[in-house]
Structure 1
Amino acid sequence: MQQADIGLIGLGVMGANLALNIAENGYRVAVFNRTAAKTREFYEEAGSLKEQIIPCETLEELAKNIRAPRPIILMVKAGEAVDEQVAALKPFLAREDIIIDAGNANFHDTVRRLAELGPNDPTFVGMGVSGGEEGARHGPSIMVGGTPESYARIEPVLTAISAKYQGQSCSALLGPDGAGHFVKTIHNGIEYADMQMIAEVYGVLRDGLGLEPAAIGKIFEKWNAGPLNSYLVEITAKVLLAVDRKTGKPAVDVILDSAGQKGTGRWAAIEAQMLGIPATGIEAAVAARSISSLVSQRGEASKAYSGLETAKLSDDSTAFVDALEQGLLAGKIAAYAQGFDVMAGASKEHGWNVPLATTARIWRAGCIIRSQFLDQIADAFEGSEGKNLLLAPAFVERMKSTSQSLRKVVAEAALAGLPVPALAAALSYFDSFRQARGTANLIQAQRDFFGAHGFKRIGEEGDFHGPWSEPA
């Protein structure tokens, strides 16, 4: 029997779809699942793709059925399950073989796993995959961290199965060890901020203007035909226009307002904090999800603070709806600017040399945060990888034309008691970033007063202390 080009372990929803994607693109794939019955079921349901699939019931059988050097994708739950799978698989692999973790792993774990492998062990690749079930089946965005040699072995398969944007593959090697998983983490952080800002605008339209879901869906549908064109705005319109079969009500109205999270958003916020790089939109989005989980406490608070009910917005004009569109665009730009800044900082910290322009390009199709302005982001980073996106001429002009709308939306929402934490964070970030002289001089004075930490004087070298102990 002809050997497989690649192996895959874990036939859950993502793993099964990725395996079918590989097979459909002309590559033979050997598959294994801890439960052998699931492997057999997957194979039997593969239809015309069965001839491209080799079902295996042991890890030894899996390894024997893959052409050397053997790349094997792990699509298992992040954490201990990956470590267990690596340990179980390693005895059947050789030095040049490649273990590829395609889950949502913490990049620190990816770095550790690679370091733990000895000189005669297989190598380890951390591969971020974005696009959900549909992307896995028909073309995801793929972010790889590993050696050039290991990437060269798997590149043909990844190029074939990835999403395509105007004929270009949305797959790339972004750096060594944990670079791929880090970029995926920040992708998810931006995704958190983007989704939260969209939800906040939905809240303003629902609670501030009193619009029904279908009417709001039509607004998002219209916006998706303009500068806000993106996957998340597109699906928001579809979600808001959907009807629940059981009740006949708008589907969104029967869903409990408690958002789940699997950890990648928190990781993004934590890494930004550790690097000392502001990512306030991501942090606000993570906090908002945490607050959403406090369902019973929020119910109690609603009763405790009765009488402070949300007032209807004073402005319910078409002009205000247009301001919401422009304000959301400004907020999204700020979130992307923060995310790319964190990636640039991590790249410098870890010596990864992550190509930011390439990152933007492989996000143009397949991934959850694909949007119209990623081409402009890619162009902005060509030749100026270390600059904040808000300093790129194209985005300076965009923010000049949209920031006042964001200001109006945040101000009106605050006066009406409507929570817009991510939009407000984006506005504060923008205002702070463009302020030539801020207020940290007072903070430095305070720090020196109580802790003798010292401060810099304007236009002078060295550290100084203030006259705090001298008599007035």
Structure 2
Amino acid sequence: MTSPAPAPPAAAAAQSPPPRIGLAGLATMGQNLALNIAEKGFPISVYNRTAAKVDSTLSRAAAEGALPVLGHRDPRDFVLSLARPRTVVLLVQAGPAVDATIDALSPYLDAGDAIAAAQTEDGPCVTFVGPGGAGNFVKMVHNGIEYGDMQLIAEAYDVLHRVGGLSNSEIADVFAEWNKGELESFLVEITADIFTVADPLEGSTSGALVDKILDKTGMKGTGKWTVQQAAELAVAAPTIAASLDGRYLSGLKDERVAAASVLEEEGMPVGLLEKINVDKKVLVDRVRQALYSSKVCSYAQGMNLLRAKSVEQGWNLNLAELSRIWKGGCIIRARFLDRIKKAYDRNPELANLIVDREFAREMVQRQGAWRWVVARAVEAGISTPGMSASLSYFDTYRCNRLPANLIQAQRDLFGAHTYERIDRPGSFHTEWTKLAREGK
């Protein structure tokens, strides 16, 4: 059963069962992760070679409500404080510090204890990403892709529920079935589970817990940072940006309720604007194709952002290797990451996943269903910002002639920004207003 889990006081933490998780390395990311885990009600032991970092972590835990954090300055005490089999997370600087920390902890670990990397058929999901802040940047983009992925899944659920009238149990079955195919992923898997959970506070006959959850989404900032970096690097990331906007709008719950009331008074129905008659099986299949295609665009935007930052910083990021380590132990792990890896193995300079031959073929095959889902959602008045942004990204990227020529003409007229021509080299400026008046 699910129930609120208030953090115990510091004194009670020491008397509770040994923590199942230990974290070594209490710089900014390590400290924040430890406190985030503790905030959710999970006791955690922490260790750092520099005692001052341990002290500052415990001070923050106390200031934030006596979170269940046990601090250790000795590696032996740290290891022995954990419940067996022990799980230790390392968040220390890449290189010698990793080896030194492992050497300090290893004498006290037993068979079955783990210093964590997730494993796949391609090996442990850990690698040296690059110098400087490369690892942090890659983690940030991972979270940006995660924002997009979650938004797209939520939109798929909304269309299935509101257009198709699927019940929670039917939606659970759909996501469970999707998780056996091309959409297999951690997020699709847990989504199937979510729709099977009854409200524990009201009893098993009271309906699904998900229906009782307030429609306001929290965030920690990594999605915003991803979008900010995309803007700084002039990389289009509309799916990720749409997911961030979706979270901002979700926070305006009172305003949304008021807006619905005002617009209803003016003749706008609260429910569907138009009833869409479609067979459930047809709808499920088309939404599956739309979700898959949209996800490819979201991942493509994230990978392009990584490549742009790598060029700017001289990191020489290996996008195939990053795809490999994301195959296990992370939120966006998914079956098609193996195919993303192969795409970058085939062509490390691949401009966009959309133009990899395998993905291009799939996008073309699915674009009809994709367009149908977005169009039906628009007709019905259902917001699908992620799918719509992905489709627009796809259509813009594949277009060999955009209306940007008009925008550039406008810029030249009001700001003398000049323009290039398609028929001769060089930059040009035209006195547009003067010529327009003379033409009249």
Cα distance in 2 for residues equivalent to 1:241 and 1:39: 33
Alignment partners' CA distance in 2, 1:352 and 1:437: 33
In the TM superposition, residue 225 of structure 1 has moved relative to its aligned partner by: 1.1
CA distance in 2 between partners of 1:275 and 1:304 (Å): 40
What's the counterpart of residue 338 of structure 2?
Answer: 375
Cα deviation for residue 466 of structure 1 reads 2.5
Q: Deviations over 1:146-180 (max 9, x none)?
A: 66555665689999511000260101111111111
Query: How far apart in 1 are the matches of 2:232 and 2:322?
Result: 22
Per the alignment, residue 146 of structure 2 pairs with 191
The CA deviation string for residues 100-140 of structure 1, in whole angstroms up to 9 with x for no partner, is: x9xxxxxxxxxxxxxxxxxxxxxxxxxxxxxxxxxxx8698
Aligned with 1:241: secondary structure?
coil
- How many angstroms apart in 2 are the aligned matches of 1:355 and 1:38? 47
Cα distance change of structure 1 residues 376 and 255 upon mapping to structure 2, 3 Å threshold = same
Equivalents in 1 of 2:259, 2:252: separation in Å? Answer: 10
2:137 corresponds in structure 1 to 182
Closer, same or farther in 2 for the Cα pair 1:299/1:397, shift >3 Å? Answer: same
Gap change, CA 1:244 and 1:348, over 3 Å in 2: same
Which secondary structure does the structure 1 equivalent of 2:365 belong to?
helix
Counterpart pick for 1:250 among 208, 215, 225: 208
Q: 2:291 matched to 1:338?
A: no
Is the Cα–Cα contact under 8 Å of residues 240 and 250 in structure 1 kept in the other structure? yes
SS at match of 1:364: coil
**How do 1:63-462 residues align onto structure 2 when only pairs under 5 Å count?**
72-74=25-27, 75-77=30-32, 148-150=95-97, 160-166=115-121, 168-247=123-202, 248-306=206-264, 307-309=267-269, 310=272, 311-382=274-345, 384-387=347-350, 388-462=352-426
On the 8 A contact 2:125/2:326 being kept in 1, the answer is yes
Which residue identity lines up with residue 303 of structure 2 in the other structure? F
Shift of 1:308: 2.2
Deviation of the 1:397 alpha carbon? 1.2
**Partner deviation per Cα, 1:367-411 (whole Å, 9 max, x = no partner):** 001001001101111253332111111111111111221111000
* Deviation of 1:320 (Å): 2.0
User: Secondary structure of the equivalent of 2:217?
Assistant: coil
Question: Which one is further off, 147-156 or 450-459?
Answer: 147-156
Mapped to 2, the partners of 1:327 and 1:348 lie a distance apart of 32
Structure 1 residue 319: deviation in Å? 1.5
Deviation at 1:209, TM superposition (A): 1.9
Provide the secondary structure at the position in 2 that maps to 1:342: helix
Cα RMSD (Å) of the superposition?
3.2
Q: Deviations over 1:228-280 (max 9, x none)?
A: 11110111111011111222211111100111111111111111111100000
- The answer on whether the counterparts of 2:87 and 2:115 sit within 8 Å (CA) in structure 1 is no
Aligned to 2:79: none
Partners of 2:160 and 2:171 within 8 A in 1: yes
Local SS of the residue matching 1:173? coil
State the structure with bigger RCO (CA 8 A, min sep 6), 1 or 2: 2
Cα drift, residue 90 of structure 1: 9.5
The residue number in structure 2 matching 1:45 is 18
Note closer, same or farther for the CA distance 1:41–1:443 as it changes in structure 2 (3 Å cut).
farther
- Contact 1:146–1:177 at 8 Å: present in 2 too? no
- Normalised TM-score (structure 1): 0.71
TM-superposed CA distance for 1:284, in Å, is: 0.2
- Given residue 324 of structure 2, which amino acid in structure 1 is its aligned partner? R
Match of 1:176, as an amino acid?
P
The AA in structure 2 aligned to 1:200 is: E
1:461 Cα deviation (Å)? 2.3
CA distance in 2, matches of 1:194, 1:410: 16
The amino acid across from 2:354 in the alignment is L
How far apart in 1 are the matches of 2:147 and 2:118? Answer: 22
Where 2:32 maps in the other structure, the secondary structure is coil
Evaluate the alpha carbon distance shift between residue 327 and residue 91 of structure 1 in structure 2; reply closer, same or farther with a 3 A threshold: closer
2-structure distance, mates of 1:343, 1:138: 30
Contact 1:275 1:346 in 2 (8 A): yes
Query: What SS does the aligned partner of 2:347 have?
Result: coil
- Map 1:1-12 → 2, pairs under 5 A: none
Task: Provide, for residues 20-67 of structure 1, a one-character-per-residue CA deviation record: whole Å limited to 9, x for no partner.
Answer: xxxxxxxxxxxxxxx98588558x6159x9xxx9x9xxxxxxxxxxxx
Asked if structure 1 preserves the Cα contact closer than 8 Å seen for 2:125 and 2:325, the reply is: yes
Letter in 1 for 2:361: E
Q: What TM-score results when the alignment is normalised by the length of structure 2?
A: 0.76
Identity of counterpart residues, as a percentage?
A: 37
The residue type equivalent to 1:237 in the other structure is A
How many residue pairs align between the two structures? 367
Structure 2 gaps, min length 5: 37-47, 58-85, 107-113
